[in-house]
Amino acid sequence: MQGQAKRSRGILSPKIKEELNRKRFIEEEEGTGGDDDTAGARPAGVPGRRQIKFPKGPTAQQESEANTVPPKALPFEERYQRVTTYLEKGLHERIQHLRSSGRVASVTALYNAALRQYINKYYN
């Protein structure tokens, strides 16, 4: 590592080294070292740093609402019960026709809705 530092010292000409040291000395006296907007004098025609205005982010309440995790749905096995039953052939054909034509999204949903409506109407 020291060999590299020694080699890099010989890259700059004495005139450029003197100019860099003079700028560093001025910055240290003014207390403007580093990458501040006021670091050193800028040549004419070279613009300074621009201030970028970022849009205001969401408030803490909005962030907490956005980061909330929705409650998990119950597992499939806890929501449904498998039932095996027999249907009349004509009724089964009509249900399959409704399904194939797209009028019913799922046969299970149709069965659930029909049974719910029938039970509510006749047994409540």
CA-CA distance, 100 to 109, in Å (whole number)? Answer: 14
- List, in order, residues 6 or more apart from 63 with CB less than 8 Å away: 57
Question: Residue 85 pLDDT more than 70?
Answer: yes
114: its two tokens: 């029909």
What local confidence, expressed as pLDDT, does residue 53 receive?
Answer: 74
pLDDT-based confidence at residue 86 (cuts at 50, 70, 90):
very high
Question: Residue 37 pLDDT more than 80?
Answer: no
| This model's pTM is above 0.85 | no
CA-CA distance, 94 to 109, in Å (whole number)? Answer: 15
Question: Residue 54 pLDDT more than 80?
Answer: no
Residue 48, burial from CB neighbour count under 10 angstroms (0-12, 13-18, 19+): exposed
